[in-house]
Amino acid sequence: MNIILFGPPGAGKGTQAQHIVKNYKYFQISTGDLLRNEIKKKTTLGEDIEKIISKGEFVSDSVVNILLKNAIKNLKFKDKIIFDGYPRNLLQVENLKKNLIEFKQNIGAIIFLNVTSDIIEKRIMGRVTCERCNMTLNKYLNPKEIESHPCGRGFLKKRKDDGSEIAIYRYDTYMEKTKPVLDFYSNGPDFHEIDGSLEIQVIKGKIEQILKV
């Protein structure tokens, strides 16, 4: 079964997705990673995406849908995908449903990591990403891991969109735009809400229970 993993920017979706990938042999499909990869390619589309993200805004549905469809149609991902932060609105819900039908796949669990804006701000302000191995760490939440990071501290960089004001704006925008999607999915038996402020290991345990059902 495929999984949809929800939560505002900084809720810990990436960390939990990595755990599922490692322990359940899933493939993480993150719109953020897809967008950043397009930026790294330095295409015209990538340059446009970078301008939008740097302002704390979201790219258009048409761009996101193109990138997602290219990933979904990869047969080696069939029914083993974690949709990390997608869909974000009802139009994307319909697009996802259409693509899943086209490529004969389905959704088995929808997980929402619910976190307050105060916690999100602290997480995002301390977040750094390793340019070498792509691991995400936090100088406030896991300083010891930063000190002992095998790639060295020189590879740890902050993302351009990780400013305080932008972080709060992104949180508010996400919650406002995603509420209809959460309302839509919350009526179904496969929807699960988890307190995202809990310890990482506790959240992992709750997700494992969901996936074992």
Residue 10 has pLDDT above 80, yes or no: no
* Domains in the chain, CATH or no CATH each: 2-116+178-212 (3.40.50.300)
How does pLDDT run across 106-154, given as a tens digit for each residue?
Answer: 999 999 999 988 888 777 778 888 888 988 888 777 788 888 899 998 8
Q: State both tokens at 136.
A: 């995400």
Q: State both tokens at 65.
A: 């849908």
Cβ proximity of 10 and 117 under 8 Å: no
**Percent of the chain having pLDDT more than 90?**
41
Q: State both tokens at 111.
A: 């997980």
Separation in Å, CA 209 to CA 24, 48, 85, 204: 12, 41, 21, 9
Q: How much is the pLDDT for 163? A: 63
- The whole-model pTM stands at 0.73
Mean pLDDT value of segment 185-202: 93
